[in-house]
Chain A
Amino acid sequence: MTQMGMAIDLERCQGCRACMVACKTENDTPRGAFWMNVFRHEDGEFPDVEQGFTPNPCHHCSEPSCAEVCPTDARFKRDDDGIVLTDYDTCIGCRYCEVGCPYGVNYFQWRESEEGQYGFGVNDELVEDTHQQLMELDDDYEGGDRPWANPELDATQEPRDNKLGGGDHKVGTMGKCTFCVHRQDSGDEALEGTTACEEVCPTNVIFFGDMEDPESDPRQHINEKRDKNNWKMLEGSGNEPNIVYLGDKPDDNVRSMEDEYKDPEEAISAEENRSHNPAAYLTDGGVSE
């Protein structure tokens, strides 16, 4: 039995959130969707203060409550590796998974994919300029989307033979961390067994692999640090999560800090109303080399 999961070493984490950005650019998620999220927190009183950081991807539970409550079976757990996925074609966007999940990792796609794409979906002379430039580079680029949108994410995965990876799915559906399923099913040895978050982490916090295999990276790391605390989040929920944290568990009085990201609606609206001095930014018809 394979069950993909992670060991996350909190003693090494510096809360830089590189994993969040890597996840975002890997999976093309829109504004406001943080399939990987990192809590930054503080507890104690001056001068006895502790500050720490806790990455929180989907826990790909063995008993996923999100799948249990899904009325359409769009949210399901894959048999052969235990990854919990969303079939965007079947999802009706009822958001029961969001309610049912204790870890807060589900994101509803509120807008058309292009609208959440960091200002690149705006109908603006200068953005058009960028799209034109990209079309000159890439015959397949259709414009109207984020320039770093990766067409490789259009691939389909088993067992549904549908696109199950990627964050640029259609409006009105749910999305969450897929353990980079598009990498796992790529057929490319260099990509299988890796996730974007693990790959980018500069302090080696994340260990992704088969939690059932004692030789896997996460199991080996847990063993190496067996003299440290290890724990899982909200074990009482009965979900049997597959993210194991190494290091002290933040206590109940912990206070969140630095957790206000840019409001997506405000940002999208602001991007639509961007003013500029066109002369300073336009080309006068020059074509790229």
Chain B
Amino acid sequence: MSQHEVGDGMSLDITEKQSDESGGLSRRSVLKLLGVAAGGAAIGGGSYFKATDTATAAKSFDVEEISTACWIGKQDCTMRARVVNDRVVHLKPDPNDEVIDGLCPKGVGQIADLYDPYRIKQPLKRVDGEKGEVGEFEPISWEQAAEEIGEELEPMLADDPRRVHFQIGRVKGAEWHMNGWVDSLEAEYGEGINVRGHGNVCATGNKMALSRMGAGFSSPEPDFDNTEFFLNWGWNATQAGGPHLCNTTYAREMAEAYESGTDMAVLDPQRRGAGHWCDEWLPIEPGTDLAFFLAFNNVLVSEGYIDEWFLKNTTNAPCLVYTEGENEGEIARADDAEDPVESVLWTEGELVYDEQSGQIVPHEETLPDDPHDPTAVGTAALRVDEPLEVGGDRVRPAFELFEDHVEEYTPEWAAEITDLPAEQIRRVAKKWGEEARIGATTTVEVDGERRQVPYRPVSMSLYHVSQQELGPSAMQAGLMPMFLVGAVETVGASRSGYLNAPDPSHREHVRERAFNPEETLTWQPDAPDLEGTYFHPDANGAYAKVPHVLNNPDEYNLPHDPEDMAVVTCYANPLAGAPNRERSREGYAQYGTVIVVDPEMSDTAAYTADYVLPTTTVDKNENAKDGMSNTHYTSSTRTAPIPQLWECRDEGDIFKELAAALGVGDNYVDYVNDAFELTGGDAFDSIAELSVEECLDRSPRYGEEYRDAPQSEERPLTHRYWVLGPVSEEFGDEHRTEYSPFGFKWQFYLESFELLGENVRAGFTEEYGPDAAEQFPYIQDITGFAEWREPTMWNSPEEYDLTLFDYKAIEHKQSRTAQNPLLNELNPKNYVRMNPRDADEIGVSDGEQVVVESHNAVTDDTYRLEGQLMTLQGIKPGTVAIPYGNDTHTQHPNVEALDEGINPNDLFDSTEGYCSWAADQSFHIRIKVEPAGGDA
């Protein structure tokens, strides 16, 4: 066994895999067999058919199976490419991967992307066509491309690094670009390059809440092995992936759980995503999830489903909050308390009311002698009858405030908003409370010793559904059911995501902006994502909002005009991948320089690029991301199964040249050596020597001996449940396991949001006047407890009487599949999907052409799209669903010829009113549907 570091200090013990491959066979050493072949050869060389008679000439083929990984999806599902005479003839799942048992249709279908005749084959330079119009391109050499790009970007970087932006869609091999290239430049030119991911069109809405209520930028993941009741919150399980992995893993886990008796309730306006795994369907009105969970919490509290151990011992629920005075909203702290800005995981000295002594004391003094004992409930009060004061101002326990807060949010109240029967909401909430088995414990064995831990077999998960206007608040309310019954980070419950130990980093900057706004909040953004400003005090790339900002640079105080700025987009297609397409085209056309790294002519490339740099598809070498399911780790390397086609290059081989052209080649080489742990003779001396393939070969983690198969290892229980923190080697000194087994305090009351919200609203009032919320509705949503308000889209005129939402179809993935003829064959068209009840009212029927018009309630803009109707009983009346994934490369000949559209990103919008306070894109908008007129 050998020990290897697998990022973030986790260690992965590599066991020798039983391999049926003959030793020493690499991609390069193909054996040619001549003459009549015998059957029965092992993988790695030989022929596979019986000897034929003389009527057919005997043929021999070189056959290999190369271990590689899917380049499309999130998970990097490992695959074997069957290669016959240096041509890939089939892609299949790698049998050695313990996380997946198969592939999705995109995995096996991407063989068509390898040989796509319309791949970009060498660098292109725009020679004609105005920005915002389809460009005319001419091929140039890599040398010329690097030189000219260097000449464009160097003066910008030298002037102000903030003039250069790096935007990424598909985050793989970040060492080569997002981290490595950017770091190398900043080391030379100074910090400030705006690095933008795709988070805001993905799932950051829930991460914004969970990373502060919990401690880690992640999303909940169910403990499928042990959960008895699972609430599927908008999780399109049969068609999409989830928090960390793809459909291939989660669908299997879910199917297995369902098979073993787990009950499943599904909260989703559409039935389609749950497939077979649904015992109860809650067809909720899109955008009202916040109301649902507020009512859910109302039921749990009023029915008494309260886990006192969890709340009193491990959260700030008993902490006293000022309800008046200049510290209103803050937690009362002792004079010698730790600074909440510095000590973010557990702040010592927060005050509670001790039921035993009748005194106000620091929380720590009310904890049991053994805080790790899941049956030892502390003595801090969740409710106090008498009025309390600290420093002359009234204080009350946070839990009490919460009880008051949810009192009005009854199921009857929520029924009006969500269109779910009150009885159903009440019943499901009670089931949650009941099945949680508050107080139950179980034992797990760690290092030969048995430890007693809470057993709470109820779980939930969500992912992209949080991308709605009220997303972060919905998650704040949605986490409460987990907190109220103590069902988090323990057996049967939900993990809080893909981290092995609590991570303070995402709490830190929000606390700074909550407690020290003068020093940390500004009206002057560094970049069009507005992160860290009053506009969006937190944001993760603001993928869809950026174009709106670029179109209005003065309104948002951008430090430079867009025409003086440059963007490098790496596998991102903002012109099609996110709404609104019109705004995106206009916005990106403002940039002075656009460089697109992509294997295909995306819309972003066609309409706005100055340079298009072709990267590889299946013929790619890359370090695949380390994977982690509930139960296993896997690590894999993406190996090109055939030599790279045309002039296409791996990303690292592109960015190294750009680094060299900008004078930071040495920095880049140093970064890569460090990132891939190359020392001594293995380390590269220069850019000229460096290549992705060579680097992976030399790297201890991705080296040749590990290329043959994925490396899988079972995850220890201490990694799976934070409640085992005290015996986990993943926990360090910063984790306060002396107070809580979780090593930190869960924020039941999100103090930092309450204070941040006050700061933001005060700032807006000063800058925009008392009606600021009319233009920026989301500033109302930054609060300590999630509060209901009506979504802005409901302000659209009544004629827009339906709500549009979108979802992912299994055959398509963002901007990576529309050009694939195999996937197109199965799913050539995105239908306008609605319930027959609505269709009847409108006077249209299944199969007919309809026109969909959407309305932006803030700007009054409207958008129209024509599509074909599909009626289904499995969709809530009053809603329309259109999947996305088609029509993303309108200039690609395959898409032009075969793709029947439509793209709902033509109908959604991305201004205020359609984003959350954290710039999360809302994939909801009000629409009307009419017959198209003319023949169907």
Residues of A within 8 A of B (CB): 10-18, 20-22, 24-26, 31, 42, 44-47, 49, 51-53, 118-120, 124, 126-127, 129-130, 133-134, 137-141, 147-152, 154-156, 161, 182, 185-191, 196, 199-204, 247, 257-258, 260-262, 267, 270-271, 273-277, 279-284, 286, 288-289
Alpha-carbon distance A82/B821, docked complex (angstroms): 34
A residues near B49, Cβ cutoff 8 Å: 152, 155-156, 182, 185-187
Q: Which of B90, B109, B111, B122 has a CB less than 8 Å from the CB of A284?
A: B122
CB pair B118 A137 closer than 8 Å: no
Given contacts A137-B86, A148-B115, A280-B124, contact A199 B897 (CB under 8 A): no
9 contacts between A and B (CB under 8 A): A14-B237, A18-B105, A21-B108, A147-B115, A148-B88, A148-B115, A152-B49, A257-B872, A283-B121
Which of B20, B82, B252, B896 touches A203 (beta carbons < 8 Å)?
B252
Given A262-B898, A274-B893, A288-B646, A134 contacting B108 (CB threshold 8 A): no
Q: Which of B135-143, B483-491, B715-723 contacts A (4 or more CB under 8 A)?
A: B135-143
Residues in chain B within 8 A of chain A (CB atoms)? 20, 38-43, 48-50, 52-53, 56, 59, 61, 63, 82, 84-93, 100-105, 107-109, 111-112, 114-122, 124, 136-139, 237-239, 247-249, 251-252, 255, 258-259, 271-272, 274-276, 281, 283, 601, 642-647, 810-811, 821-829, 835, 837, 870, 872-877, 891, 893-894, 896-898
Chain A residue at minimum C-beta to C-beta distance from B272: A51
Q: Given that A202-B248, A281-B118 are known contacts, is A47 also in contact with B283, CB under 8 Å in the complex?
A: yes
Q: Is the CB of B48 within 8 A of A11?
A: no
A288 touches B644 (CB 8 A): yes
> Which residue of chain A is the closest to B138 with respect to CB atoms?
A279
CA distance A52 to B238 in the complex (A): 11
Q: A14-B237, A283-B122 are in contact. Are A25 and B139 (CB under 8 A)?
A: no
Q: Once the chains bind, are B275 and A53 in contact (CB under 8 Å)?
A: yes
Q: Nearest Cβ in chain B — how far from A111, in angstroms?
A: 15
In the bound assembly, the distance between CA atoms of A155 and B275 in angstroms comes to 40
Q: Give 5 nearest A-B pairs by CB, closest first.
A: A187-B39, A202-B102, A155-B49, A14-B238, A150-B89
Query: Of A15, A119, A127, which is within 8 A of B275 by CB?
Result: A15
Note all chain A residues with C-beta closer than 8 A to B56.
156
Instruction: Choose from B85, B109, B823 the contact partner of A137 (Cβ within 8 Å).
Output: B85
Query: Of all chain B residues, which has the CB nearest A31?
Result: B825
Q: Which of B108, B249, B828 contacts A200 (CB 8 A)?
A: B108
Picked from A12, A46, A154, the residue with its CB within 8 Å of the CB of B259 is A12
| CB <8 Å contact, A283 and B283 | no
The interface centre, meaning the residue of B136, B258, B644, B826 with most chain A CB atoms within 10 A of its CB, is: B826
A287 CB to nearest chain B CB (Å): 9
Nearest CB of A to B413, in Å: 21
Distance of A134 Cα from B83 Cα, bound (Å): 12
Distance between A49 CB and nearest chain B CB, rounded to angstroms: 4
Tell me how far the C-beta of B117 lies from the nearest C-beta in chain A, rounded to whole angstroms. Answer: 4
Return the contact of B824 from the options A22, A189, A262, A286 (Cβ within 8 A). A262
Query: How far, in angstroms, from A139 to B601 measured CA to CA in the complex?
Result: 30
A280 touches B92 (CB 8 A): no
A201, B102: Cβ atoms under 8 Å? yes
- Contact A119 B821, beta carbon cutoff 8 Å: yes
Tell me, in angstroms, the Cα distance from A51 to B108 when the chains sit together: 25
User: What residue of chain B has the Cβ atom nearest to residue A28's Cβ?
Assistant: B89
Are A46 and B647 closer than 8 Å at their CB atoms? no
Complex Cα–Cα for A282 and B116 (A): 12
Q: Are A270 and B48 in contact (CB under 8 A)?
A: no
Which residue of chain B has its CB nearest to the CB of A13? B276
Known A-B contacts A148-B111, A203-B255; A130 and B874 likewise in contact (beta carbons under 8 Å): no
Provide the bound-state CA to CA distance between A124 and B893, in Å: 12
Establish whether residues B874 and A21, one from each chain, have CB atoms under 8 Å apart when the complex forms. no
Residues of chain B within 8 A (CB-CB) of A129 are: 117, 121
Q: Which residues of A contact B124 (CB under 8 A)?
A: 280
B61/A52 in contact, CB under 8 A:
no
Are B825 and A202 interface neighbours, CB within 8 A?
Answer: no
Please report the C-alpha to C-alpha distance between residue A119 and residue B112 in the assembled complex, in whole angstroms.
10
The answer to whether A260 touches B829, judged by C-beta atoms less than 8 angstroms apart, is yes
Asked whether, in the complex, the Cβ of B894 is within 8 Å of the Cβ of A190, the reply is no
The contact of A17 among B53, B601, B643, B826, by CB within 8 Å, is: B826
Cβ contacts under 8 Å, B117 to chain A: 119-120, 124, 126-127, 129-130, 281
Check if A17 sits within 8 Å of B281, measured CB to CB: no
Q: Are A279 and B136 in contact (CB under 8 A)?
A: yes
Q: How far is the CB of B849 from chain A (nearest CB, A)?
A: 14
In the complex, are the beta carbons of A274 and B894 less than 8 A apart? Answer: yes
Give chain B residues whose Cβ lies under 8 Å from the Cβ of A14: 237-239, 247, 251, 255, 275-276, 810
B893–A188 CB distance below 8 A: no
Residue of A at shortest CB range from B109? A21
Q: Which residues of B contact A141 (CB under 8 A)?
A: 85, 87
CB of B873 within 8 A of CB of A203, answer no
Q: Taking the nearest CB of chain A, how far is it from the CB of B145, in angstroms?
A: 13
Distance between Cα atoms of A213 and B40 in the complex (Å)? 25
Interfacial chain A residues near B107, Cβ < 8 Å = 18, 200
Nearest B-chain residue to A269, judged by Cβ: B897
> Is B897 within 8 A of A21, CB to CB?
no
12 more CB-based (< 8 A) A-B contacts, given A25-B90, A148-B90: A12-B259, A18-B102, A42-B271, A51-B276, A119-B897, A126-B893, A134-B87, A137-B86, A151-B59, A151-B85, A187-B48, A203-B255
CA distance A51 to B236 in the complex (A): 13
Q: Say yes or no: A47 contacts B281, CB within 8 Å.
A: yes
Which of these, A18, A42, A149, A273, contacts B872 with CB under 8 Å? A42
Contacting residues, chain B, for A188 (C-beta < 8 A):
39-41, 48
Q: How many Å lie between the Cα of A118 and that of B875 in the bound state?
A: 34
Interchain CA distance A258-B870 in the complex, whole Å: 9
Interface centre among B48, B91, B92 (most CB of A within 10 A): B48
A49 touches which one: B87, B122, B824, B874 (CB < 8 A)? B874
Give min CB distance, B608 to chain A, whole Å.
14
Q: How far is the CA of A262 from the CA of B136 in the complex (A)?
A: 31
| Chain A residues within an 8 Å CB radius of B118 | 126, 276, 281
Contacts of A138 in B (CB 8 A): 84-87
Q: How far is the CA of A42 from the CA of B255 in the complex (A)?
A: 19
Contact of A42 among B48, B237, B874 (CB under 8 A): B874
Closest Cβ–Cβ distance, residue B808 to chain A (whole Å): 12
Determine whether the beta carbon of A200 is less than 8 Å from that of B93: yes
Alpha-carbon gap, A274 to B645, bound state (A)? 22
Q: Are A161 and B643 in contact (CB under 8 A)?
A: no
Are B121's CB and A275's CB within 8 A? no
Contacts of A120 in B (CB 8 A): 115, 117
